Structure 1
Amino acid sequence: MTRPVTVGLDGSAAGFAAAEWGAREARRRELPLRLVHAWEWQPYAHAPPVGADAPRLWSERVAREAAAELRRRHPELSITADHLAGPPSEMLCDVARDAELLAVGTAGIGGLAGFFVGSVAMSVVAHTERPVVLVRAGTTDEEEHRFASDDQAPSTMPYRPVALGLDLSRPCDEVIRFAYEAAAVRAAPLQVIHGWSPPAFFAYGVGAEQNWQADMAVQETEEMRAALGPWREKYPGVEVIEQSVIGNSAHHLVEAGATAGLVVIGRRTTRPWAGAPRIGHTAHAVLHHCPAPVAVVPHT
């Protein structure tokens, strides 16, 4: 079964940015595009001035009008538009099951504050078992490329790198595969970022006379190369840039997002404790502050 690239629309500028990103991704992967808008009826304390049916009629137009515009921009792309009735987060998790990936939009709230990730998007990221890509409002085709000039078509411009956050304590095939495939379809380099921290006792001077930082850096780099070795063989055409850095990887991934076309991180779906699904602190920080689109790939 061919899985489409699916986009969840909410009628906002961020939603349409996600739809445009999804259209380009569908073209790159040679997949169909599916646009979905979910509408949940809300009771009114009083009759709305424009009529009780106005919100529903507007909702029905969201995906239809976005599809018409994207067909004009991407005439070679197969596009379907669906209007669903029900809680948006539940509906999007539902459609994500049959999708190659699900894209949703996030709103910018200023360079220092980061980006606003709504409750629907956060719920979908936390609950779905398919990759979810969050696209910020204002993302354009040119921002995915390293160079943009008036006389150069986007299709001929080199892509910005794909950045991957790699956790060596549990390197996950699903996350690594997604990042390599994203780099491969773009013919872009893959920037692999592994953040690590020294043992706590180093902070208190124990063993300070030894060149521990250099030794640990070498060890971490060797472990990263070993983890990526089989993937280099599977994707020999992908240029890999390895970065083994001290500290939490979230900060380094947000920095990489300034020059990357896509940032890829993982999310664990199994936990040793009971409770509702949640997003880890690294993913949470990257989602709220990374300027590039962020792909969250669930894994066990």
Structure 2
Amino acid sequence: MSNAPVVAAVDGSEHSLDALEWARTAALRHGTGLVVAHVLPDTSQLYAARRSSLADRSQPEQYADPVGDQVRGILAKAPELPDEVRYDALEGSVPEGLRVSAEGARMLVMGSRGHGGFAALLIGSNSRALASTAACPVVVVPHAARRAPEASADSAEPSSGRVVLGLHAAETADDVLAFAFAEGAARGTTVQVVSAYAIPPAPTTVVDSPFQVIPPEGLADDGDAVPAEREMLRSQTERLAPFRARWPQVPVEQAAVPGDPAERLVTASRSAALVVVGRHHPRRSVGPLMMGSVAHAVLHHAHGPVVVVPTLSDDA
């Protein structure tokens, strides 16, 4: 997958253009190509089918594609482009067309809502469908109203915020951890690992209080941490060891926190460049069509970009 392209889904909406910019910088960061995918509206697809079936040579061969013209204009003004950029006009339904386009991609990048979305919706049906079913990681870039004040669509700068990884040491698939560490390496930034437990550490602890971040070298067994927290940090350390060895240049911070894991990740998303979550536990889901409750909640409520990573390897 090292040379696999980044795919940006566009429909001309402001949300999708934010996703296009995020995808452009991601492709540059990873040194790969950029594919801009647009599923043509029904009117254009019907026109193409009618012209083909009637063989009406009096009609123009090409149907109007204003989104393609808009994308080309935006990319022409971009400060830098990947070496390979391709625009694909697709037919079929939006989820199916994008699923096919993103097969084998490094990631598919989408806006949280497209044209025709209700303003009250936190995430559109197409974004939700692709995050639940696509064969590659799906990044959802939230619209401006959902972003934290300090967050932006993204930056090409390599130090643009930490990568936050939601980790259940016993259940999160290796592909999820590998994606987070590869993203941290590409950005030159820290991977902050967040795990949550239900037992409060002490009667005086407030669940909504900020959690403590601990570097791996600070895990000396001094007995101050409560057993649940201490055991979770140990489990994290053991689980992270092969990935730290593979990406030694990536700084790691570990946090074991009381409370709901989705709530903690949503809070962390306010200052994160990207939140990484697994789609589901590979041995608990029924086929590839299910998305876990944590991924679902984070996708709907995060204040910055979220990537939902499926189980990619056969032996996961």
Please state which structure has a larger fraction of its residues in strand: 1
Seen in structure 2, the aligned counterparts of structure 1 residues 187 and 115 have a Cα distance that, compared at 3 Å, is farther
Which residue of the other structure, out of 146, 152, 162, is the alignment partner of 1:143?
A: 152
How many residue pairs match? The answer is 266
1:225 counterpart letter in structure 2: T
Give the structure 2 partner of residue 267 of structure 1. 279
CA distance in 2, matches of 1:272, 1:66: 41
Matched, 1:87 2:96: no
> Is the contact made by 2:25 and 2:156 (CA closer than 8 Å) also made in structure 1?
no
Give the structure 2 partner of residue 277 of structure 1. 289
> Is the contact made by 1:23 and 1:74 (CA closer than 8 Å) also made in structure 2?
no
2:128 counterpart letter in structure 1: M
> Is the contact made by 2:299 and 2:306 (CA closer than 8 Å) also made in structure 1?
yes
Give the structure 2 partner of residue 290 of structure 1. 302
TM-score where L is the length of structure 1: 0.79
CA offsets, 1:130-172, max 9 Å, x none?
Answer: 1000012247997377xxxxxxxx6667321000000122132
1:143 counterpart letter in structure 2: S
TM-score where L is the length of structure 2: 0.75
Seen in structure 2, the aligned counterparts of structure 1 residues 105 and 156 have a Cα distance that, compared at 3 Å, is closer
Give the structure 2 partner of residue 126 of structure 1. 132
Query: Share of identical aligned residues, percent?
Result: 29
Q: Secondary structure at the match of 1:122?
A: helix
1:238 counterpart letter in structure 2: V
CA offsets, 1:86-113, max 9 Å, x none?
Answer: 10100111111131100000149xxxx9
CA offsets, 1:4-51, max 9 Å, x none?
Answer: 1001112110000000000000000011111010025269xxxxxxxx
CA distance in 1, matches of 2:142, 2:40: 22
Q: Secondary structure at the match of 2:256?
A: strand
Matches for 1:94-133 after TM superposition, within 5 Å: 94-107=100-113, 116-133=122-139
Q: Secondary structure at the match of 1:129?
A: coil
Where does structure 1 lack aligned partners over 5 or more consecutive residues? 44-52, 146-153, 200-210
Tell me by how many angstroms 1:275 deviates: 7.2
Matches for 1:172-211 after TM superposition, within 5 Å: 172-198=173-199
2:298 counterpart letter in structure 1: V
- The RMSD of aligned alpha carbons is 3.2
Seen in structure 2, the aligned counterparts of structure 1 residues 131 and 274 have a Cα distance that, compared at 3 Å, is closer
Which residue of the other structure, out of 59, 67, 72, is the alignment partner of 1:67?
A: 72
> Is the contact made by 2:172 and 2:281 (CA closer than 8 Å) also made in structure 1?
no
CA distance in 1, matches of 2:198, 2:299: 22
CA offsets, 1:266-294, max 9 Å, x none?
Answer: 01274556578122211111111111100
> Is the contact made by 2:158 and 2:186 (CA closer than 8 Å) also made in structure 1?
no
Matches for 1:176-255 after TM superposition, within 5 Å: 176-198=177-199, 214-255=226-267
Seen in structure 2, the aligned counterparts of structure 1 residues 29 and 157 have a Cα distance that, compared at 3 Å, is closer
Q: Secondary structure at the match of 1:116?
A: coil
279-288 vs 21-30, greater mean Cα deviation: 279-288
> Is the contact made by 2:113 and 2:127 (CA closer than 8 Å) also made in structure 1?
no
> Is the contact made by 2:9 and 2:16 (CA closer than 8 Å) also made in structure 1?
yes
2:35 counterpart letter in structure 1: R
CA offsets, 1:156-215, max 9 Å, x none?
Answer: 67321000000122132100000001111110111110112249xxxxxxxxxxx99811
